[in-house]
Amino acid sequence: MIRFLFDRDTWQEVWDSLGKNKLRSVLTMVGVWWGILLLIGLLGSAKGIENAFNRLFGDFATNSVFIWGQSTSKPFKGFQEGKIVRLSLSDAKRIEENIEGVDFVVPRNQNQGFASRKMFSGNFSIAGDYPMLDFVQKKNLLKGRFINQNDINENKKTAVISENVYMQLFDKDENAIGQYIQVNGINFTVIGVFEESNINMGPSSDMHIPFSTFQQIFKQGDKIGWMMITGKPEYDIKQIEADAKLLLKNLNKIHPEDKRAFGSVNLGDAFSKITGFLKGMQFLTWFVGIATLIAGVFAIGGILLITVKERTKEIGVRRALGATPYEVKRQIVVEAVFLTIIAGLMGIISGGWILIVIDSQFGQGEEATFVNASVSISIVFIPLIILVVLGTLIGLIPAFKATSIKPIEALREE
């Protein structure tokens, strides 16, 4: 059999019989070609979306939740319904100490402020932050650095400003680092400029200043706006959220069943929904692709079956000339496999072209929908192997049909 596959005559025979009717051969291959093209195109696109998504969320600790206080919906322990709930630094500390699986808790505050420099001014949202924010929501710094522990300890008047603030308060190409800006009448040194992210957890901030400094300026005491809780990777963030809320209710004398007292956004939950969606899309892609492939291979089988009927006489002649049934079957199976492989390879190539087009049209730039839309070679081999196996199996049907006709019937003069 191996010798047969490397025999030039084998391929001469295949080539002759397929080349005899080019249109038929091409039409036969369309199904498989289309199936592979779909599979490669869809898989590549799904990968591109996944990549784009990972790039978008790459800056975030996705296993996190953020919680803020609202107002109570139930009276409890002498307090009326509608009590305003505000979280405090001690709440954050207690959560970090008592809730299992918490990696860290980052308290945050935010307020509106008026900033000015020379002739320029504007209203901006100003956030009081700890250095830890950089862990859960990575700041893409264009220049300088983020707030550090020293800034906090010494209540330094330092500010990390967004690119947008920079553009409003500074001249083009002016170096902002070390320059002073006035925030609510107080001088701050600019220590960094960050690039605004497409996605924000919670309200976006134009300017970050040390948390301790924020407390002083806005007279917040130890009250905080909200906190970001990050869970260790092996812990379920939904459980952490529930535990944290229960603890907070306990600490703040709120009814355990009160659903309104705290608001929260669970990023881990949202993230797992989206990754689940991506997984589903990938599954769908495989499903559709493989199903189309199977349909394509069946089309090849069907057309070869018709072809065998057309070729009844030829097969009869070959058998009268001494072709054994095995030789006839082998010939037809090889034709089927050859057609499927050629169609498959063409599908892979044109699928690749489609991915190139997708990449050049939608895959460029920061906000691309498809990032590096591609399929790895090893993935490509899977449908190819499926094709060879299916092609062989499906080729057996017309092959057996061909030899089930006795040569005498095949040769009968009409």
Binding site for other proteins (CB under 8 A): 8-9, 16-17, 19-20, 313-314, 316-327, 403, 406-408, 411, 413
Q: Tell the smallest beta-carbon distance from residue 303 to other proteins (Å).
A: 17
Residue with smaller CB distance to other proteins, 234 or 413: 413
Residue 274: partners with Cβ closer than 8 Å, 6 or more residues away? 53
Q: What is the rounded distance in angstroms from the CA atom of residue 320 to the CA atom of residue 338? A: 26
Which DSSP category does 236 fall into? -
Cβ proximity to other proteins: between 209 and 399 the closer is 399
Closest distance to other proteins from the beta carbon of 306 (Å): 17
- The residue with tokens 């209203």 is 123
What is the smallest separation between the CB atom of 313 and other proteins, expressed in angstroms? 7
Nearer Cβ to other proteins, position 17 or 197? 17
Smallest separation (angstroms) from other proteins to the CB of 412: 9
Residue with tokens 């409003």: 168
The CB-of-47 to other proteins minimum distance in angstroms stands at 44
CB atoms within 10 A of CB 383: 25
Residue in the block written with tokens 């495989």: 286
**Minimum distance of other proteins from residue 318's CB (angstroms):** 7
For the chain, give the number of residues: 414
Q: How far is the CB of 19 from other proteins (least distance, A)?
A: 7
Considering the complex, state which of residue 143 and residue 313 has its C-beta at the smaller distance from other proteins.
313
* Number of other residues whose CB lies within 10 A of the CB of residue 57: 17
Nearest distance, CB of residue 398 and other proteins, angstroms? 17
DSSP state of 180: E
Name which of 64 and 403 has its Cβ closer to other proteins. Answer: 403
The angle subtended at Cα 143 by Cα 140 and Cα 144, nearest 5°, is 100
Sign of CA dihedral 345, 351, 356, 359: negative
Closest Cα to residue 368, out of 202, 200, 203, 198? 198
Q: Which amino acid is at 13?
A: E
Instruction: Please identify, using beta-carbon distances, which residue of 7 and 100 lies nearer to other proteins.
Output: 7
The 3-state DSSP composition of the chain as helix, strand, coil percent (nearest 5) reads: 55, 20, 25
Paired tokens of 362? 């939608």
**In this structure, are residues 42 and 383 in contact, taking their beta carbons and an 8 Å threshold?**
no
Closest to other proteins by CB, 24 or 145:
24
Closer of 108 and 311 to other proteins (Cβ):
311
CB 394 within 8 A of CB 300: yes
